[in-house]
């Protein structure tokens, strides 16, 4: 499982898709999520704006599994 580090309180699922090169641009996020199963903490997620926080686990089949590493206290 690959670690994704960020300094803000959260990142969105759309941002993660772009960071992991699952998509080429943020505008592709809605389409990608409608065509591919993406799991956040074991549950299917299709909202590109889903907030990903410290310790969330995202599985993008064919791309990888990712552990979110951000500020633990939301600061």
Average pLDDT over residues 16-41: 94
Average pLDDT over residues 34-51: 96
**Is residue 44's pLDDT more than 80?**
yes
The CATH number of 2-69 is which of 3.30.420.10, 3.10.290.10, 3.30.1490.20, 1.20.140.10? Answer: 3.10.290.10
Average pLDDT over residues 23-41: 94
pTM score, whole prediction: 0.88
The residue ranges of every structural domain in the chain are 2-69
Across the chain, the runs of DSSP E, i.e. the strands, are 2-5, 11-12, 39-40, 43-44, 51-52, 57-60, 64-69
Tens of pLDDT, residue by residue over 1-26, are: 999 999 999 999 999 999 999 999 88
8 A C-beta contact, residue 9 and residue 74? yes
Residue 73: the pLDDT is 64
Q: What separation in angstroms does the CA of 59 have from each of 1, 38, 52, 73, 74?
A: 9, 6, 12, 24, 23
């Amino acid at each position: 499982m690959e670690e994704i580090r960020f300094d803000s309180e959260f990142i969105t699922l759309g941002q993660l898709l772009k960071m992991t090169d699952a998509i080429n641009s943020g505008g592709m996020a809605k389409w990608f999520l409608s065509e591919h199963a993406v799991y956040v903490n074991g549950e299917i997620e299709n909202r590109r704006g889903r907030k990903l926080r410290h310790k969330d686990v995202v599985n993008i089949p064919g791309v990888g599994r990712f552990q979110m590493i951000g500020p633990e206290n939301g600061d």
